[in-house]
Structure 1
Amino acid sequence: MKFSTLIGTLFLSAASAGTAFAAQQTVTLAVDNMTCSTCPYTVKKALNQVLGVENATVSYEEKSATVTFEDAEASVADLTAATTNAGYPSRLASEKTKQAQ
């Protein structure tokens, strides 16, 4: 009985340790080449196809995209690559990290 309790405890500890360092991150990207009011739809679609992206809001007026994602699954480089591949090069403008609980 004690052995199975020990194994169960170790399993739960190992399972939770992998997610202990994951964090939700929100970044704002400066997006180039948005020349009309329909461009943000293309940028948003490209960002939402990146694994780990939870939300993307794109502003034509501000020429920016605010993206919330899990940093264990995606990176800023993944996001900028997605917009660049869609024809809209982007770069990091600001970021905010929230530790997962």
Structure 2
Amino acid sequence: MKKHIAALAFALTITAPTWAAVKTVTLSVPSMHCAMCPVTVKNALSKVSGVDKVEVSLEKKEAVVTFDDAKASVDALTKATKDAGYPSSVEQ
């Protein structure tokens, strides 16, 4: 039993853990034109696994998304908006 515990302890010390990071990205969504557009974009982004927070502004034509990068990616976010009919890109 001690050999198994020692082997497990050794394996855990040499295996580098993968830490998720919370990231925030601003997406430009230029095709939003009416009051329902931000609602649709927010719903689409909120359905992406790992998304923690979504703020969408019609006036700025942008979405600010906070997400766990171990569960979601920028590609998944832009795909979600595109699939909802609102292509987006990362603001620089």
> Identity of counterpart residues, as a percentage?
48
Decide whether aligned partners of structure 1 residues 14 and 33 sit closer, same or farther in structure 2, where only a CA change above 3 A counts: farther
> What are the residue-to-residue correspondences of 1:61-100 with 2, within 5 Å?
61-94=59-92
Structure (1/2) with the larger strand percentage: 1
Distance in 2 (CA, whole Å) between partners of 1:65 and 1:14 is 40
User: How far has the Cα of 1:58 moved from its partner?
Assistant: 0.4
Gaps of 5+ in 2: none
Scaled by the length of structure 1, the TM-score of the pair is: 0.77
- For the pair 1:25 / 2:17, whether they are aligned, the reply is no
**1:29-77, CA deviations, whole angstroms, 9 ceiling, x for partnerless residues?**
0002111122101000000111111111100110000001111111111
- How many aligned positions are there? 92
Distance in 2 (CA, whole Å) between partners of 1:48 and 1:69 is 10
Amino acid at match of 1:81: K
CA radius of gyration, larger in: 2
User: How far has the Cα of 1:14 moved from its partner?
Assistant: 7.5
Q: Which residue of 1 aligns with 2:3?
A: 3
Decide whether aligned partners of structure 1 residues 15 and 53 sit closer, same or farther in structure 2, where only a CA change above 3 A counts: farther
Distance in 1 (CA, whole Å) between partners of 2:15 and 2:50 is 19
Moved over 4 A (4+): 10-16
Worse-matched range after superposition: 39-48 or 68-77: 68-77
Scaled by the length of structure 2, the TM-score of the pair is: 0.84
Decide whether aligned partners of structure 1 residues 14 and 40 sit closer, same or farther in structure 2, where only a CA change above 3 A counts: farther
